[in-house]
Amino acid sequence: MKQILLFSCLLIIISCQQKDNLALDNATLKPIQNQSLPSLPKEMELFGQKINLEDEDIKERLDREIIMNTYAQSATNLYIKRANRFFGPIEVILKNEQVPDDFKYLAVAESGLANVQSPVGASGFWQFMPATAKEYGLVINDEIDQRLALEKSTHAACQYLKNVNQVFNNWIITAAAFNRGLGGVRSDMKRQYTDHYFDSEMNNETARYVFRIMALKIIMENPKAYGYYITKEQLYQPLETKKIKVKSPIKNLALWSKNHGVNLKIVRKLNPWILKNSLINMNQPQLLLLPGENCKLKNYASYSK
């Protein structure tokens, strides 16, 4: 009798598990009802140039990048939050260098506005390779990597873009060349008898590159339309800083930081181009950023006092 009751209980348990698994499978297979995205406009402007979006190929390629970046929620959230901190200084430099303002979205496409390093060695917001960085005046050694200095690397990126644009006289093709290289883009167009990026067949990365910049501009200029309801408090705020000219070598950056009322972590956050706990091999004075008077970046222990 006990065996029969035990067997019956086992059947009930197995049946319940099967129902739960079936319910889970049905839930997994049930289509996800995503929000509908805004329709694409008939045209848009990028780098001061009008782009006709009625062409079916251009429309579909842009649509792909908008969908992919809209639903890459974690990454796009960070782009929007970081832009509130970093777009300001980038915009000032672009304006002073007479480079179209939309190139700030190229920096988003390159790095997500973070000092990341690629597997092939490109680094910083603008993803300069070491040789190109040095060609445009950025110092790279065992203590310093100015590809990670926002102001200096942005000036270098502007010089690169202006030099390439002198060849093509077209900022859209210039943007593609930032990814493919001047020689690569010129070779592709010459081989295909084309004179525009949108008429040229290129490798998959470069073929998507300008469209990703276009998509990022569309989404980041109107984030709520694409489901990003980020409050002002959630945005990363600009950090108020002051500049300190350092003329003498720093043998111990942690001690130097302490003597200036902060810590090594903060100094490295504001000056990510400093690679080590020292600044000894200095050929010229260096400008270091420190927190300004109202900067909400300080020694944590001070918050409890």
CA dihedral 34, 38, 39, 44 (to 10 degrees): -140
Six-digit token pair at 53? 């979006």
List the chain pLDDT tens, one digit each, 305 residues.
Answer: 445 444 455 444 445 554 444 443 433 333 334 567 899 999 999 999 999 999 999 999 999 999 999 999 999 999 999 999 999 999 999 999 999 999 999 999 999 999 999 999 999 999 999 999 999 999 999 999 999 999 999 999 999 999 999 999 999 999 999 999 999 999 999 999 999 999 999 999 999 999 999 999 999 999 999 999 999 999 999 999 999 999 999 999 999 999 999 999 999 999 999 999 999 987 789 999 999 988 888 888 877 66
- The strand pairing partners of 123, in sequence order, are 117, 128
With CA atoms as reference, report the closest residue to 112 among 147, 89, 91, 87.
87
Task: Find out whether 243 and 217 touch, Cβ atoms under 8 Å.
Answer: no
DSSP per-residue letters across 35-86: PPPPPPPSEEEETTEEEE--SHHHHHHHHHHHHHHHS-HHHHHHHHHHHHHH
Classify residue 20: in a domain, yes or no: no
At residue 144, the 3 state secondary structure works out as: strand
Classify residue 154: in a domain, yes or no: yes
Same domain, 207 and 287: no
- The pTM (predicted TM-score) of the whole model is 0.86
Same domain, 152 and 300: no
At residue 145, the 3 state secondary structure works out as: strand
With CA atoms as reference, report the closest residue to 154 among 115, 185, 209.
115
- Dihedral of alpha carbons 212, 214, 215, 217, sign: positive
What's the start-to-end Cα distance of the chain, in Å?
72
What does the alpha-carbon distance between residue 127 and residue 111 come to, in Å, rounded to a whole number?
A: 7
Task: Find out whether 171 and 47 touch, Cβ atoms under 8 Å.
Answer: yes
Q: Which helix (H) or strand (E) element contains residue 245?
A: strand 241-246
Classify residue 36: in a domain, yes or no: no
Same domain, 261 and 227: no
Domain boundary among 218, 234, 250: 234
What does the alpha-carbon distance between residue 81 and residue 72 come to, in Å, rounded to a whole number?
A: 14
Q: How many residues does the chain have?
A: 305
Same domain, 224 and 247: no
Domain boundary among 191, 213, 234: 234
- The strand pairing partners of 145, in sequence order, are 140
Same domain, 202 and 265: no
DSSP H helices in 97-203: 103-111, 130-135, 150-168, 171-180, 182-192
What does the alpha-carbon distance between residue 26 and residue 22 come to, in Å, rounded to a whole number?
A: 6
Six-digit token pair at 29? 């297979």
Same domain, 150 and 290: no
Task: Find out whether 251 and 305 touch, Cβ atoms under 8 Å.
Answer: no
Classify residue 192: in a domain, yes or no: yes
Classify residue 255: in a domain, yes or no: yes
With CA atoms as reference, report the closest residue to 151 among 93, 105, 236, 238.
93
Classify residue 77: in a domain, yes or no: yes
Residue 212's domain comprises 43-234
Same domain, 169 and 61: yes
Give per-residue pLDDT as tens, 251-276.
Answer: 999 999 999 999 999 999 999 999 99
Q: Identify the CATH number of the domain in which residue 112 sits.
A: 1.10.530.10
Give per-residue pLDDT as tens, 107-132.
Answer: 999 999 999 999 999 999 999 999 99
Same domain, 141 and 225: yes
Same domain, 90 and 207: yes
In the chain, the number of structural domains is 2
